[in-house]
Structure 1
Amino acid sequence: MGSRLREKTALVTGGTGRIGRAVAAALAAEGARVVVSGRDRARGEAVAAAIRDAGGSADFVAADLDGRADASRALAREATRVLGGRVDILVNNAGVFPGPSTPETDEATFDAVYGVNVKAPFFLTAALAPAMAEAGGGAIVNIGSWVVRLGLPAGVAYAASKGALETLTRSWAAEFGPRGVRVNTVSPGVIREQDGAADGSGVLMNGTPAGRSGAPDAIAHAVVYLASEEAVFVHGAILDVDGGRVSAAVIAA
């Protein structure tokens, strides 16, 4: 167990997915008391139990972050209560990824994507950031995506929603940074399951410096860095953790 986040509290949304599980475990391993949030109670309780078994501190709080302001506010209240009155670190990780093309995306799908990926973190941040500032500061880490800067012919509503989240990162950094709350984004590349089982995603990393998909732990380590005092001078940054997917191409001779 580390101590980089000792005596800190953290809320991780989407904590039952592969990235969310890794992030929650990494925060707890550095000493943070963590609330894991998600829709599936059985999976969420299992994640929290695994963290406790490893020597960390974690609880599960069920929440369906569909974009309703009341749902985000309710999670903020309950997480604050469970964590003893304050949330020092917020990781906006919950997201949905339907993959239709533009003509195939109906209004209900579009609204659902923006509800989960943009509105939910917007109202959760609105509920928690002022309290962080009043308590002396905090850190908010949004989870973006590599598809924001490399156009693909599918998942276009998803890409647009993650672009909106990047813009919110910069706006929130300007809004809350002067009050002691740092806001940044980790932008994952192609991420496989933690056990490294082949899932076909590696082909998307052909021609990149890494040449392979990444593990959830890579994202978790970046989140820990941005949540810690080591990143005290980092505001409004987009940290690409993508094996070079959007920044470099390896050209074979």
Structure 2
Amino acid sequence: VLIHSWTPHDRDQPWGADSSGMNQLLAELSSGEAAVEHIEADLLDPEAPLRVIEAAASLGHVDILIANHARSSGYPLEELTAKEIDTTMAVNARSTMLLVKEFAAKHDGRPGGRVVMMTSGQHLGPMPGELPYIASKGAIHQLTASLADHLAPRGITVNTVNPGATDTGYASEQTYAHVLEQEPQGRWGEPDDAARLIAWLVSDDARWVTGQVINSTGAGP
């Protein structure tokens, strides 16, 4: 298991980086039988996806790619800059395509090849304050069917998950309350909700499911 992160991005966010979270995660995963490593890489660098996949391959055959990274970009139309558009598209969309490319190059065609990408809710309703972000996540949505078709002959499935509003501690009190009012089940999504779906998608039970964009939002927006 290889876990990727890029702490400088997290530090720049209003909620800041979790200084202990990665160590806790590594300790938890290392208690099992799998070899577990961690890599820091800035996916704005076009060479970073190759380094990430090569690091994963150094641990053994690469069976599963979960592209769960994202650059947060809260820019409305009036505040857009070319730099922010290009940076967000590069990190969220370009790097995902390159990660899938390098993953596919390493995968030897054995059963169980899986790719899971992450999108957002831009296809379900307007998100006018996050234009670069939704453009990049919309690209992931549109890539899904074509990547699935291309990799299907090799037995690799490709699916994308929209996890909905997920409580990872990033939301302000105002945002949290506003979203909560729109949630039919009376709660935000939890990281475990998306993780359960992804665990199923990468299992043998989901071997016939590919090319799908799945909205796992608890019936919320």
TM-score (structure 1 length as normaliser) = 0.75
Residue by residue over 1:189-247, the C-alpha shift from the partner in whole angstroms, topping out at 9 and shown as x without a partner, is: 111138xx96742422424422321110001001101111111110111111112124x
How do 1:21-100 and structure 2 match up within 5 A? Answer: 34-40=1-7, 44-53=22-31, 55=32, 57=34, 58-66=36-44, 68-81=45-58, 83-84=59-60, 86-100=61-75
How do 1:4-23 and structure 2 match up within 5 A? Answer: none
**Distance (Å, rounded) in 2 between the aligned partners of 1:133 and 1:165:** 24
Residue-pair matches, total: 208
The answer to whether the 8 Å contact 2:93/2:140 transfers is yes
**Distance (Å, rounded) in 2 between the aligned partners of 1:140 and 1:106:** 32
The answer to whether the 8 Å contact 1:36/1:44 transfers is no
**Distance (Å, rounded) in 1 between the aligned partners of 2:176 and 2:123:** 18
Q: Give the % identical residues.
A: 29
The answer to whether the 8 Å contact 1:188/1:242 transfers is yes
| Unaligned runs of at least 5 residues, structure 1 | 1-33, 247-253
Residue of 150, 174, 179 corresponding to 1:204:
179
**Distance (Å, rounded) in 1 between the aligned partners of 2:24 and 2:39:** 12
The answer to whether the 8 Å contact 1:188/1:240 transfers is yes
Q: CA deviation at 1:134?
A: 3.2
Structure 1 residues 40, 175: CA separation in 2 closer, same or farther (over 3 Å shift)? same
How do 1:109-120 and structure 2 match up within 5 A? Answer: 109-120=84-95
1:90 aligns to what SS in structure 2?
A: strand
The answer to whether the 8 Å contact 1:225/1:231 transfers is yes
**Distance (Å, rounded) in 1 between the aligned partners of 2:57 and 2:23:** 18
The answer to whether the 8 Å contact 1:148/1:162 transfers is no
Match of 1:79, as an amino acid?
A
The answer to whether the 8 Å contact 1:190/1:214 transfers is yes
The answer to whether the 8 Å contact 1:61/1:79 transfers is no
RMSD of the TM alignment (CA)? 2.3
Residue by residue over 1:166-192, the C-alpha shift from the partner in whole angstroms, topping out at 9 and shown as x without a partner, is: 111111001001210000011011111
TM-score (structure 2 length as normaliser) = 0.85
Q: CA deviation at 1:99?
A: 0.6
**Distance (Å, rounded) in 1 between the aligned partners of 2:206 and 2:46:** 30
The answer to whether the 8 Å contact 1:169/1:185 transfers is yes
Residue of 189, 203, 209 corresponding to 2:164:
189
| Unaligned runs of at least 5 residues, structure 2 | 9-18
Q: CA deviation at 1:56?
A: 5.7
**Distance (Å, rounded) in 2 between the aligned partners of 1:220 and 1:40:** 22
